[in-house]
Amino acid sequence: MWISNAFAQATAAGADSGGLMSFLPLILMFAVLYFIMIRPQMKRQKETKAMLESLGVGDEVVTVGGIMGKVTTLKDQVVTVEISAGTEVQMQKGAITTVLPKGTLKSA
């Protein structure tokens, strides 16, 4: 016949290291992603949690909506913030983004 038989060939001796080398770029991309995105985000979450736990009555704060005021009462997850004389707003503790230095807000 004109067509010769085809036989399977054995793999080369160094083919096992090729599998690891093909995953190396993927591993490097994950490492870079971890150090650039995931780790800083975890650090920010830790700092925010510590700030909310140390929150006390009389602290001057800024909320997510940009409202600045003074904390008058604290409950488990509810904070009452006085935004002007006689005007108090209740909000969730997570709505507070920043604790300002004492004396930042001027009383009228």
Q: How do the pLDDT tens digits run along the chain, 108 residues long?
A: 677 777 777 665 555 556 778 889 999 999 999 999 999 999 999 999 999 999 999 999 999 999 999 999 999 899 999 999 999 999 999 999 999 998 888 754
- Residue pair 61/100 in contact by the 8 Å Cβ criterion: yes
- Of the chain, the end-to-end C-alpha distance in Å amounts to 105
Residues 64 and 96 in one domain: yes
Is 65 contained in some domain?
yes
Give pTM, 2 decimals. Answer: 0.66
Report the distance separating Cα 54 and Cα 38, nearest Å.
25
| Enclosing domain of residue 69 | 56-100
Mean pLDDT score across all residues of the chain: 88
Residues 39 and 69 in one domain: no
